[in-house]
């Protein structure tokens, strides 16, 4: 998710959503990741990659090093936010109560991002 937002912010300013809208949302995702990393214990040897909860949805797109960064649309950001929220809610059953509350709170934050991305009438 963080990489997706960074790509959108750094993308073509004529087609990507304005940074003034995306910047605060990116900052909140960075806060999410920090909290998740603080709470989750990763197996030894696991590379320092964003948690599953913070990854963009498979359909969200993104560029490869060989082709350069792809344009990230607002529709892709909305889809990724929805997928993140749904994924977190799906996992509530498998974690202890305090972590479930963190997942639910992050999912609620993601849900508000969906609304912001829609309400601002950003190009999608």
Partner 1 sequence: MTASTAVPALQAALAAENAAIFGYGVAGAHLAGNSLAAAEQDWTTHNEARDTLAAMIRQLGAAPTATQAFYQLPFRVHDAASATALAAYLEDGVTRAYLGLVAVSDQQLRRFGALAMQGAAQRAAFWRGSTQAFPGLSNP
Interface residues with partner 1 (CB under 8 A)?
24-25, 27-28, 31-32, 35, 85, 88-89, 92-93, 97-98, 100-109, 111-113, 115-116
Whether the CB-CB separation of 76 and 61 falls below 8 Å is answered with yes
Q: How far is the CB of 64 from partner 1 (least distance, A)?
A: 30
How is residue 49 written in tokens?
A: 């990659």
Q: How far is the CB of 110 from partner 1 (least distance, A)?
A: 8
Euclidean distance between the first and the last CA atom of the chain, given in angstroms as a whole number: 17
Q: Which is nearer to partner 1, 63 or 104 (CB)?
A: 104
Residues with Cβ within 8 Å of residue 115, at least 6 apart in sequence: none
Q: Which is nearer to partner 1, 41 or 44 (CB)?
A: 41
Q: How far is the CB of 71 from partner 1 (least distance, A)?
A: 24
Q: Which is nearer to partner 1, 75 or 92 (CB)?
A: 92
Biggest CA–CA distance in the chain, Å, is 45
Q: Which is nearer to partner 1, 5 or 103 (CB)?
A: 103
Q: How far is the CB of 8 from partner 1 (least distance, A)?
A: 16
| Torsion angle of the four alpha carbons 105, 106, 112, 115, in this order, in degrees rounded to the nearest 10 | -140
- Nearest Cα neighbor of 32 from 50, 48, 19 is 50
């Amino acid at each position: 998710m963080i990489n997706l937002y960074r790509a959108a912010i750094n993308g073509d300013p004529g087609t990507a959503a304005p940074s003034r809208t995306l910047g605060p949302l990116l900052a909140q995702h960075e806060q999410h990741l920090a909290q998740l990393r603080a709470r989750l214990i990763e197996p030894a040897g696991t590379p320092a990659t964003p948690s599953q909860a913070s990854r963009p949805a498979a359909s969200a797109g993104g560029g490869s090093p060989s082709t350069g960064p792809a344009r990230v649309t607002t529709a892709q950001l909305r889809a990724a936010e929805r997928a993140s929220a749904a994924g977190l809610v799906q996992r509530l059953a498998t974690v202890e109560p305090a972590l479930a509350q963190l997942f639910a709170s992050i999912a609620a934050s993601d849900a508000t991002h969906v609304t912001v991305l829609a309400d601002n009438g950003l190009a999608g």
